[in-house]
C-alpha cells in the first residue's frame, strides 16, 4: 500500500504544471497558446522572461528530486522504489492530469530525478547541455544531447544497479521523442532561439 501511495503522489507531484502556473500568475495567459505551445521552462523563458523560465526549471527539477527523496524516506528498504517514483514523476510532468495530459518535455524534471540518483552523470550531461546552448543559442540541441550523454555516462560512472542506467536510457529516448517537432524545426532552420522573452513580450 505504501508503494502504491508513493507512486500516486509521485505522479501528482510530477504533474504540477509549474510553467503554466508561473505564467498565469505573472502574465495571466495560458503558456500553451504562445511560442512553441509547450508549458516547460524553455518556452516560459522565451515567452515570459528569464526569471520566469529559471523559476520554472528549478520548480520542475525540484518535483523530480522530491519524488525520489520521498521514496528514499518512506521505502528505505527498496533499491528501486526511488527510481520508479522518479520515472513516474517524469511521466506525470510529460502527461499531466492537471492540463488534460498535455505537459512538458521532461528535461528539467529528469534533471531533478537523476541529479538525486546519478549525480555525476547528471552533472556531465548538464555541462554538455550548457555548452551546446551557449554555442548554438538554442535549447533543444542541448536537451537532446543531454538525453544521450546522461544514459551513456550512467553505464560507466557511479556505483548503481544496471536498472538505473536502463531506465535512464528509456527516459532519454522519450525525451528525444518529445523533441521531434524541435528536430524538424532545426532541419528547416526555423527552431526558436534561446532569448529572454521579457524583452520582446513586455506588453503581453
HEC profile for 124-168? HHHHHHHHHHHHHCCHHHHHHHHHHHHHHHHCCCCCCCHHHHHHH
High-pLDDT (> 70) share of the chain, %: 96
Q: What integer pLDDT is reported at residue 143 of this predicted model?
A: 96
* Confidence label for 135 from pLDDT (cuts 50, 70 and 90): very high
* C-alpha angle 12-119-141 in degrees, rounded to nearest 5: 80
* C-alpha angle 6-84-113 in degrees, rounded to nearest 5: 95
8 Å CB contact between 74 and 6: yes
* C-alpha angle 91-92-94 in degrees, rounded to nearest 5: 60
**Which residue from 94, 180, 168 is spatially nearest to 140, judged by alpha carbons?**
180
Distance CA 189, CA 197 (A): 20
171-191 pLDDT, tens per residue?
A: 999 999 999 999 999 999 888
Report, as an integer, the average pLDDT of 161-175: 97
Angle at which helices 81-94 and 107-117 cross, to 10°:
170
The total of structural domains in the chain comes to: 1
* Confidence label for 200 from pLDDT (cuts 50, 70 and 90): low
74 phi, psi to nearest 5 deg:
-90, -15
Distance CA 33, CA 50 (A): 19
Going from the C-alpha of 121 to that of each of 16, 21, 48, 73, 151, the distances in angstroms are 26, 30, 31, 23, 8
* Confidence label for 53 from pLDDT (cuts 50, 70 and 90): very high
Q: What integer pLDDT is reported at residue 104 of this predicted model?
A: 93
Distance CA 7, CA 39 (A): 23
Dihedral sign from CA coordinates of 181, 142, 162, 79:
negative
Domain that includes residue 170, residue range: 2-200
Q: What integer pLDDT is reported at residue 204 of this predicted model?
A: 46
Amino acid at each position: 500500500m505504501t508503494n502504491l501511495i508513493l507512486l500516486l503522489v509521485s505522479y501528482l507531484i510530477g504533474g504540477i504544471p509549474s510553467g503554466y502556473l508561473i505564467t498565469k500568475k505573472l502574465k495571466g495567459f495560458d503558456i500553451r497558446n504562445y511560442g512553441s505551445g509547450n508549458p516547460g521552462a524553455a518556452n516560459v523563458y522565451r515567452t515570459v522572461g528569464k526569471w520566469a523560465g529559471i523559476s520554472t526549471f528549478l520548480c520542475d527539477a525540484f518535483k523530480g528530486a522530491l519524488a525520489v527523496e520521498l521514496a528514499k524516506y518512506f521505502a528505505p528498504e527498496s533499491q528501486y522504489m526511488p527510481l520508479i517514483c522518479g520515472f513516474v514523476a517524469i511521466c506525470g510532468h510529460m502527461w499531466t492530469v492537471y492540463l488534460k495530459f498535455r505537459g512538458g518535455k521532461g528535461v528539467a524534471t529528469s534533471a531533478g530525478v537523476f541529479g538525486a540518483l546519478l549525480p555525476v552523470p547528471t552533472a556531465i550531461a548538464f555541462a554538455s547541455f550548457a555548452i551546446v546552448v551557449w554555442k548554438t543559442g538554442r535549447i533543444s540541441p542541448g536537451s537532446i544531447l543531454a538525453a544521450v550523454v546522461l544514459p551513456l555516462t550512467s553505464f560507466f560512472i557511479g556505483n548503481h544497479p544496471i536498472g538505473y542506467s536502463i531506465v535512464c536510457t528509456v527516459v532519454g529516448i522519450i525525451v528525444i521523442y518529445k523533441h521531434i517537432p524541435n528536430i524538424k524545426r532545426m532541419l528547416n532552420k526555423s527552431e526558436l532561439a534561446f532569448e529572454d522573452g521579457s524583452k520582446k513580450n513586455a506588453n503581453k
